[in-house]
């Protein structure tokens, strides 16, 4: 039982660490890294892709959060 | 390495951050003692990719939180020891997130340093001198980090969260890019402009979030 609780807590910690408040940011980063890998392998300079995707995904996430907490 | 430990300590928990750094150093020492010169064959790229990706997603979460909190309550909240209801670090509990962040930063960069020491020292036949040089660098950087402690205490927690988020995102982007074989323009200097870029984006987004939060003007009313 203690082992199961430990495993649950461990998995929960990492899910919370990676996903945080908005899973879409982590998903966008994963897709951006995959695309960067593909472009780099094809010989296309792709250093700009991850930072642009990271800022874009954060901006979209912030817009959703801000609109949810919009003052009445 | 020191930047991450100091940043995590200043924004989350010094105890967890220093424990994570100590844990990273212990793991490194054991690795170096056990593997010795075989460490030169460790593939760094996958490690950089995994650690970088994790730092990037966590850094972006922090950047996002910092922007939302400053947009709602302003820059000045949480200066020094002022109590802040951040709910990031549960009161009375050990901050495992801070521990993991410091641990990863120290173990990855420490592993890179260990491999450089073994490669350079081994090639020159002077591993002892190379190890002394690396140890001296760690001591000097540690002293700089300790000196930065008071300075960081003066920065409001909200602002620190935003800028630490930008710093972690920069490290994460840089390392994950290296892990994928990306060639960064300007080399290691990319860390600086990435951090400045993320921080600048955070400040610009802050203004935009204030506009998004503003009440919608009533429409359709009769004169």
Nearest CB among B58, B180, B213 relative to A66 is that of B213
B182·A41 Cβ contact <8 A = no
Which residues of chain A make contact with B194, given a CB cutoff of 8 A?
Answer: 51
Give the ipTM.
0.90
* Helix ranges, A1-72 (H): 2-19, 23-41, 49-68
Instruction: Identify residues of B whose CB sits under 8 angstroms from chain A CBs.
Output: 49, 53-54, 56-58, 60-61, 63-65, 67-68, 71-72, 96-97, 100, 169, 173, 176-177, 180-185, 190, 194, 197-198, 201, 205, 208-209, 212-216
| CA diameter of chain A | 51
B215·A72 Cβ contact <8 A = yes
Q: Residue B120 has what pLDDT? A: 65
Distance between start and end Cα atoms, chain A: 48
A55, B60, B87, B179 from A64: Cα distances, Å:
14, 15, 21, 32
DSSP three-state, residue B25: helix
Chain A residue closest in CA terms to B57: A26
Q: Which pLDDT band, with edges at 50, 70 and 90, does A46 fall under?
A: very high
**What is the reported pTM?**
0.77
Instruction: Considering only residues A48 and B97, tell me which one the structure prediction assigns the higher pLDDT.
Output: A48
Asked whether the beta carbons of B62 and A60 are under 8 A apart, the reply is no
What is the distance, to the nearest Å, from the Cα of residue B57 to the centroid of all Cα atoms in its chain? 11
Q: Residue A31 has what pLDDT? A: 97
The values of phi and psi at residue B16, to 5°, are -65, -40
Instruction: Considering only residues B187 and B93, tell me which one the structure prediction assigns the higher pLDDT.
Output: B187
Q: Residue B202 has what pLDDT? A: 95
Q: Residue B82 has what pLDDT? A: 45
Q: For chain B, what's the residue count?
A: 223
Nearest CB among A54, A58, A70 relative to B173 is that of A54
Region of poorest pLDDT, from B76-85, B116-125, B126-135: B76-85
Region of poorest pLDDT, from A31-45, B63-77, B118-132: B118-132
According to DSSP, residue A72 is labeled -
Closest CA to B172 of B104, B70, B84, B99: B104
Q: B2 pLDDT exceeds 80?
A: no
Closest CA to B75 of B214, B195, B207: B207
What is the residue whose two structure tokens read 């593997």? B35
Spatial distance between the Cα atoms of B82 and A17, rounded to a whole number of angstroms: 26
Q: Residue B122 has what pLDDT? A: 63
Sign of the Cα pseudo-torsion (B122, B183, B111, A35, in order): negative
């Amino acid at each position: 039982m203690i082992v199961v609780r430990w495993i649950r807590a461990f998995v929960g910690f990492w899910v919370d660490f990676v996903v945080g408040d908005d899973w879409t940011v982590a998903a966008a980063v994963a897709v951006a890294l995959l695309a960067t890998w593909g472009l780099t392998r094809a010989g296309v300079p792709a250093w700009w892709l991850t930072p642009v995707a990271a800022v874009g995904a954060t901006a979209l996430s912030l817009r959703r959060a801000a609109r949810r907490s919009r003052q009445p | 390495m020191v930047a991450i430990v100091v940043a995590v300590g200043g924004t989350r928990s010094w105890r967890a951050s220093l424990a994570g750094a100590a844990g990273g150093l212990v793991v490194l020492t054991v690795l170096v003692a056990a593997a010795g010169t075989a460490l030169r064959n460790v593939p760094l790229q996958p490690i950089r990719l995994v650690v970088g990706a994790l730092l990037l997603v966590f850094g972006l979460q922090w950047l996002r939180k910092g922007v939302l909190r400053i947009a709602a309550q302003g820059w000045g909240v949480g200066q020094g020891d002022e109590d802040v209801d951040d709910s990031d670090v549960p009161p009375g509990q050990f901050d495992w997130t801070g521990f993991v962040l410091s641990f990863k930063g120290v173990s990855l960069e420490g592993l890179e340093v260990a491999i450089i020491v073994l490669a350079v020292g081994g090639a020159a036949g002077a591993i002892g001198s190379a190890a002394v040089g690396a140890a001296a660098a760690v001591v000097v950087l540690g002293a700089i980090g300790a000196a930065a402690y008071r300075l960081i205490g003066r920065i409001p927690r909200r602002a620190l969260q935003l800028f630490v988020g930008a710093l972690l995102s920069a490290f994460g982007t840089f390392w994950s890019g290296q892990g994928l074989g990306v060639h960064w323009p300007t080399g290691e200097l990319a860390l600086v402009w990435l951090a400045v870029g993320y921080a600048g984006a955070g400040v610009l987004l802050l203004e935009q979030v204030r506009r998004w939060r503003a009440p919608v003007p009533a429409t359709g009313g009769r004169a």
